Chains A and B, each alone.
Chain A
Amino acid sequence: MKNLVSALGRGGLKIVQEAGEMALFLLAALGQACRRPFRFRRLMQEIHFIGLKSGLIVLLTASFTGMVLALQGYYTLRKYGSEGALGSAVALSLIRELGPVLTALMVSGRAGSAITAEIGIMRITEQLDALDTMAINPLQYVVMPKLLASLISVPLLTAIFDVVGIMGGYLIGVVLLGVSSGAYFSGIVQSVVSLDINGGMVKSLVFGLTIILVACYKGYFTGRGAEGVSRATTETVVLSAILVLAWDYVLTSFFM
């Protein structure tokens, strides 16, 4: 029993410590954004990798999510005879909740693990040390562009997710199940307020930064050898998913 308590305490301390280290890492890396030279080309490369290359997977998940929301929503709403509210149900779920969360999870799965592997390999093959000896700060050259790219790409991807999801819902709800097109869209216009959209965007900013921060941090401080990198990659996927869902609860309760 005593062992259990002390183990819990140790685990808790470790989590707090790691969170603190990650915050310091974030500050150090973002601080590099104000240092010359500003690496515009590196930023573009990272936006290409984190943002553009996640486009297809986001389109796919978004359309299926919108379609299944419409299907489920129609089934439930029909019991109360209010199929007309389908548009607002689909749009609100997407904008407030599913858009930011699923986009972040997809980007994390596609880009996050790859970033950890990339930086981890740079660490174990001394490429980060080589940058250091060339008097180029690896935080500025490698990490900072990725963090900035996440702040730019993930909200945009989320916006795309929302729109495509709503279109997917339209396809099922209106085209297939026969809800009136006017009701679908006027439901959206009447129910979605700017707080919903702003809240969703704040979420996507926070989630995007979180997943890419975790990915960079785990890669930067990877353990030894190929095994160390593979463990870091796994930890990235698990930790980003947990953090996204935990942040989601915190932010939702904040924006209610």
Chain B
Amino acid sequence: MIELIDVVRTFDGQRVLDGINLTIPRGKITVIIGKSGAGKSVLLKHLVGLLKPERGRILIDGFDITQAKGRQLQECRKKFGVLFQGGALFDSLTVFENVAFPLREKTRLSAAEIAVRTRQRLAQVNLSQEMEDKFPDELSGGMKKRVALARALIEEPEILLFDEPVTGLDPPMTNTVFHLIAKTHQEIGYTGVVVSHDIPAVFQVADYVAMLHQGKIIAWGSPAEVQANPLPMVQGFIRGEVNFLEG
């Protein structure tokens, strides 16, 4: 379980997170929605301790990651797999090496075992064996996303953070990725946090939905509850109304 208690973070005087209170239940997928620039990526980075809040606490299974340093922080991070919004693939490594990287660095599996698992993950995101030896800069945006997804999934971590896993993918691929997220969730039962704009498709994987607006969580609940939320901001966002986007 992840708990955020009154988390505040400002950038250059701008309050991006303004007192976030949110509970992310263990073993469930929580989807975070909110307009571009609302601070979703910033929120996600706080969860792994890449950014530190000015105020507030973030408890990962009761352990406060905002205060952790060095060894303790590393131990805590071993629970996480992260898909970055930009992919964050290592550009000096091939597709195969990128996906195999966490296993090579952090486990004692044999090379053959690593190859099997890596190929399996790559196949799940529809990347064929010819793609294995390409470098990230030879890939399309959507392919990078899928490689990054395979890398995030490979270790089967306890907690998975996905920052916009389907942005830039075509509709069939979007469904494939959501399907993969749901399927691996069934298999390994991770605690998931998915940031996505892709409404309503993202609701199909969500156990809970939280909406971030002006630094606060203004709506939280099951997909049905959030869709029925009477707040104009929530309704406007879900229906994609223009005046909301401008406001």
Q: Flag if B84 contacts A129 (CB, 8 Å).
A: yes
- List residues of chain B with CB within 8 A of the CB of A125: 86, 88, 91
Interface of A is mostly: helix
Q: Quick check: which of A8-16, A17-25, A130-138, A229-237 contacts chain B, the rest being far away? A: A130-138
Interface residues of B in 43-57 (CB under 8 A from A): 45, 48, 50
Asked if B187 is an interface residue, CB under 8 A from chain A, the answer is no
Contacts of B48 in A (CB 8 A): 132-133
Which residues of chain A are within 8 angstroms of B92 by Cβ–Cβ distance? 118
Tell me which of A122, A126, A137 contacts B84 (CB under 8 A): A126
For B105, the closest partner residue in chain A by CB is: A136
- CB neighbours (8 Å) of B101 from chain A are 134
| Complex contact A135–B78 (CB within 8 A) | yes
Partner of A130, one of B74, B84, B106: B84
Instruction: Report chain B residues within 8 Å CB of A121.
Output: 91
**Does B82 lie at the interface of the complex (its beta carbon under 8 Å from any beta carbon of A)?**
yes
* Residues of the B chain whose Cβ atoms lie less than 8 Å from the Cβ of A198: none
Residues of B within 8 A of A127 (CB): 88-91
The interface size bin for chain B is 20 to 34
A126 vs B44: C-alpha distance when bound (angstroms): 13
B162 within 8 A of A: no
Please name all residues of chain A whose beta carbon is closer than 8 Å to the beta carbon of B86 when the two chains form the complex.
125-126
Interface centre among A118, A121, A126, A130 (most CB of B within 10 A): A130
Instruction: Kindly identify, within residues 124 to 162 of chain A, every residue whose CB is under 8 Å from any CB belonging to chain B.
Output: 125-127, 129-130, 132-137
Whole-angstrom CA separation of A135 from B48 in the bound complex: 10
Q: Check B105 against A134 for contact (C-beta < 8 Å).
A: yes
B77 sits at the interface (CB 8 A):
yes
Residues on the A chain within 8 Å of B50, using CB: 129, 132-133
Closest-by-CB residue of B relative to A134 is B102
B96 is an interface residue with CB less than 8 A from chain A: no
Asked if B80 is at the interface (CB within 8 A of a chain A CB), the reply is yes
Q: List 15 extra interface pairs beyond A125-B88, A126-B84, A137-B74, CB under 8 A.
A: A121-B91, A125-B91, A126-B86, A127-B88, A127-B89, A127-B90, A129-B50, A129-B84, A129-B88, A132-B48, A132-B50, A133-B77, A133-B80, A133-B81, A136-B106
Interface residues of B (CB under 8 A from A): 45, 48, 50, 74-75, 77-78, 80-82, 84, 86, 88-92, 101-102, 105-106
A-B contact pairs, 16 of them (CB 8 A): A122-B91, A125-B86, A125-B91, A126-B86, A129-B84, A129-B88, A130-B82, A130-B90, A132-B48, A132-B50, A133-B81, A133-B82, A134-B102, A134-B105, A135-B77, A137-B74
